[in-house]
Amino acid sequence: MSARRPIEDYTRLTMTTRSITPIRPPLDPVLQREFAVDAVRRLKEAGYTALWAGGCVRDHLLGKTPKDYDVATDATPKQVKKAFAKRKTVDVGASFGVIMVVGPRGAGEVEVATFRSDGSYSDGRRPDSVTFSSPEEDAQRRDFTINGMFFDPLEHKVLDFVGGERDLSQGYVRAIGDPHARMTEDKLRMLRAVRFTASLEFGLARATKAAVTEMASEIHVVSAERIAAELRRMLTDRHRHIAVALADEVGLLREVLPEVVMQGSGEDSSDREGQKPQQILATSENLSPQLSALRLLQEPSFELAFAMLLRDVSNIEAICRRLKLSNDELEKTAWLVRQQDALREPDKLSLAQLKRLLAQPFRDDLLALTRATLLAEQADLHPVLFCERFLEATPPEVLNPAPLVTGNDLIALGLKPGPRFKQLLDEARDAQLDGTLTLHAEALSWIEARLDERGTL
């Protein structure tokens, strides 16, 4: 059966439907798996071929718990919906054969896609058309061999038409077929190649690495949102430092983040093609202090890891806007970069300065950034330990008490909002945090003493 028609929203499929579903409680991995098995069973009972596909197969064969499950079938979208008539289904992309089936509470959902072949990719991001096809043909359209396998969870049988089992056992990320063709179809695959290589502790196959290196400058056809999504995954993975080193080695880092200049960038890496992460790290560990510090972060937020990567860069806001990060991500990342050295000598800060910093909502990330930086420099951890002891000994109401005076108090004294207005509030707040002022009336008298008869100093 053919489904030839332009695909105008293919990105929505490739960026995962989980991002468009409502916020929900954490899923139960056992229930997720049971529902994914049941989805295959239900389609088979209706007379169709049905198999797990893609990343869930890779993770299953690696002994990992898949984060989500995809099912591939020869049933058309209409037939899929009929087979799951008693369950809620969503047309994620019926024109290209994808139906999302919602499972019972705690089980999440399963994407059920009809086996297909993709047409040409005129924009380097999504196919112009698709044709429903066979498992063998469907496997050929996928990105990497380790993501191109199928698995029958009822018969416990792997269907591998692309050599994925071999590469999985040997530890290599290899494009299916011609790597230049795969990267040309969707340029984001270049970043995905780097991410998979790092996160799985695999090597990047020689021809695949060569294709990425040659085509790195073409990454700009990919939307900023999709690039940012890959960066989030890379930088929150425990092998984030390897991903950055490899991205730098193949030329993607200078394209995506030209402001981040690594020591030794541009070196000939032809003799290192196909190396495993441990070898990559051995040759690139000294590229930049950021790599060592990135490695030492413990389960960081994206903003923390991104701030570490950008710590020697100016104009963080412009970078975040270029990548179309959220306002919250921009605010947190920029604050962490600006304050990266603020706690290097906490015992030399005034009490007010220390309290202000440690009362900030991003305090824990700032301490984590400081700790990783000091460890990377093999410096004493006294600054972090000092702050941790201070926090243990300081109740929240002492660390960040309610202000003794507010803007309304100053207005009542006849002052108008402006630079001097804010300055007085800040000075009063510092005096309160230092312990100089403890009472409201005392604070008002303190302010009045700083004003002359015209309301100025």
**pLDDT at site 117:** 81
Mean pLDDT confidence for 186-199: 97
Radius of gyration of the chain (CA): 28
pLDDT tens-digit map of 271-326: 444 666 555 554 444 446 779 999 999 999 999 999 999 999 999 999 999 999 99
Question: Contact at 8 Å (CB) between 28 and 106?
Answer: yes
- Write phi, then psi, for 430 (nearest 5 degrees): -60, -40
In sequence order, which residues have a C-beta less than 8 Å from that of residue 285 and are 6 or more positions away?
Answer: 245, 291, 292
| More confident of the two residues 120 and 382 | 382
H or E, element range at 244:
helix 240-249
- pLDDT tens digits for range 97-121: 799 999 999 999 999 999 988 656 6
Say how far residue 233 (Cα) sits from the centre of its chain.
3
pLDDT digits (tens, 9 = 90+) for 44-53: 999 999 999 9
Residue positions counted in the chain: 457
Model pTM?
0.85
User: What is the per-residue pLDDT for 146?
Assistant: 98
Considering only 12-26, 109-123, 378-392, which range has the smallest mean pLDDT?
12-26
Q: pLDDT band at 128, cuts 50/70/90?
A: low
> What CATH architecture is 172-291?
Orthogonal Bundle (1.10)
102 and 18 in contact (C-beta within 8 Å)? no
Per-residue pLDDT at 25 exceeds 80: no
The β-bridge partners of 69 are 110
Q: Which residue has the higher pLDDT, 314 or 212?
A: 212
> What are the beta bridge partners of residue 203?
172
pLDDT at 17 over 80: no
Give domain 1-170's CATH superfamily: Beta Polymerase, domain 2 (3.30.460.10)
Please state, as a whole number, how many other Cβ atoms lie within 10 Å of the Cβ of residue 287: 20
Q: Which of 130-134, 246-250, 385-389, 453-457 has the lowest mean pLDDT?
A: 453-457
Q: Which of 91-105, 112-126, 192-206 has the lowest mean pLDDT?
A: 112-126
- Over residues 131-140, the mean pLDDT reads 88
What is the model's pLDDT at position 286?
46
Residue ranges covered by each domain of the chain = 1-170, 172-291, 309-393, 407-448
pLDDT number for residue 9: 40
Task: Find tokens 């706690």 and name the residue.
Answer: 343
pLDDT above 70 covers what percent of the chain?
84
Mean pLDDT of the chain: 87
pLDDT level of residue 11 (50, 70, 90 thresholds): very low
